């Protein structure tokens, strides 16, 4: 019998893990937990230690029914945290905002990625601002706007319609001067989509979004559809298993990154998933 070879450490998978920090009082999962600078900075340190490749910072909730905040208030929430993180770490920082003024302030403070749930449609100067900043941009699909997006979303073919929208927004961004290599796409799971009728088919068809040729960021962490599949009623912090299952489905489809609240557990899941995939290829 041949000796069993020693188990070798598996390298961190190429899929990027974006750790979420919401410095808001009303985000759907962790609103109010990190709206003080000290708590948010401790959270950032924890996510970095847990293996986050990128920190995604938001100062305005985009949960269903969320009320908008003005740019000045949003800047007051996010800029001190970005500055504090940048003072002690080189970790890439993404600003989750739809407002060009907030994006400009965040980039001046040290962010390098603009994650926009409106795909640079919120303001007339959004596209031009992204091009001028020269930053990476995440273009997300959302039917409607946060306050009303879950009222009555409709699709004939959710995957085809989301793919067509994202392709058109990528073309608009490039026409405005954003480099192709700086564009990410996000299918917007849970944004203007019914819990099961739209979210599950979209996740099942992610390979068609990946086939557009841009890196795809997938945000499924703690989303409500997980609780619906699981029988309903579970709060966000009790949706870890479903979050990881959905993230791994995305990884299997070829997404480039997952946006998550539970970084340590997701990194572990990705390492195991990668080890199994590598063993299969080796065999």
Which stretch of 3-17, 120-134, 233-247 has the lowest confidence by average pLDDT?
3-17
Average pLDDT over residues 96-105: 98
pLDDT band, residue 231 (cuts 50/70/90): confident
Note the pLDDT tens digit of each residue in 106-154: 999 999 999 999 999 999 999 999 999 999 999 999 987 766 656 678 8
Average pLDDT over residues 245-271: 96
State the pLDDT at residue 232: 75
Percent of the chain with pLDDT over 90: 71
Percent of the chain with pLDDT over 70: 87
State the pLDDT at residue 278: 84
DSSP per residue, the chain: -PPPPPPPPPPPPSSEEEEEEE-SS--TTTTTTS-SHHHHHHHHHHHHHHT-SEEEEESS--STTPPP--HHHHHHHHHHHHHHHHHH----EEEE-S-HHHHHHHHHHT--EEEETTSS-SSTTHHHHHHHHT-EEEEE--SS-TTTTTSS---SSHHHHHHHHHHHHHHHHHHHT--GGGEEEE--TTSSS-TTTTHHHHHHTHHHHHTTSS-BEE--TT-HHHHHHTTS---GGG-HHHHHHHHHHHHHHT-SEEEES-HHHHHHHHHHHHHHHHHHHH-
Walk me through the domains of the chain, giving residue ranges and CATH numbers: 16-278 (3.20.20.20)
pLDDT band, residue 27 (cuts 50/70/90): very low
Residue 11 has pLDDT above 50, yes or no: no
Q: What is the pTM of this model?
A: 0.89
The top-scoring range by mean pLDDT among 32-36, 153-157, 169-173, 197-201 is 169-173
pLDDT band, residue 259 (cuts 50/70/90): very high
Average pLDDT over residues 61-77: 84
Residue 7 has pLDDT above 70, yes or no: no
State the pLDDT at residue 6: 47
State the pLDDT at residue 283: 58
Residue 248 has pLDDT above 60, yes or no: yes
b/e 77-91 (16+ beta carbons within 10 angstroms → b): bbbebbebbeeeeeb
Give the residue numbers annotated as catalytic, written as ranges: 223, 259
Average pLDDT over residues 49-64: 91
The whole-angstrom separation of Cα 235 and Cα 224 is: 8
């Amino acid at each position: 019998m041949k000796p069993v070879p020693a188990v070798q450490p598996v390298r961190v998978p190429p899929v990027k893990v974006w750790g979420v920090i919401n410095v808001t009082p009303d985000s759907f999962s962790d609103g109010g937990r990190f709206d003080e600078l000290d708590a948010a900075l401790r959270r950032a340190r924890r996510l970095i230690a847990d293996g986050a490749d990128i920190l995604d910072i938001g100062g305005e909730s985009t949960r269903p029914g969320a009320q908008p905040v003005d740019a000045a208030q949003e800047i007051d929430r996010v800029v001190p945290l970005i500055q504090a993180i940048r003072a002690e770490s080189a970790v890439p920082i993404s600003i989750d905002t739809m407002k060009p003024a907030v994006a400009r302030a965040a980039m001046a403070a040290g962010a390098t990625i603009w994650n926009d749930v409106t795909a640079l449609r919120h303001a007339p100067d959004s596209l031009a601002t992204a091009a001028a900043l020269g930053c990476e941009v995440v273009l997300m699909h959302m039917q409607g706007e946060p306050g009303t997006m879950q009222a009555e979303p409709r699709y004939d073919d959710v995957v085809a319609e989301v793919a067509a929208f994202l392709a058109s927004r990528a073309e608009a961004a490039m026409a405005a001067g954003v480099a192709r290599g700086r564009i990410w796409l996000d299918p917007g799971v849970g944004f203007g989509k019914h819990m099961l009728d739209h979210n599950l088919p979209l996740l099942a068809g992610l390979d068609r979004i990946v086939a557009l040729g841009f890196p795809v960021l997938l945000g499924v962490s703690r989303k409500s559809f997980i609780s619906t599949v699981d029988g309903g009623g579970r709060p966000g912090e009790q949706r870890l298993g479903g979050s990881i299952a959905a993230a791994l489905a995305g990884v299997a489809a070829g997404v480039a990154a997952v946006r998550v609240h539970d970084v340590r557990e997701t990194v572990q899941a990705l390492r195991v998933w990668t080890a199994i995939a590598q063993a299969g290829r080796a065999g």
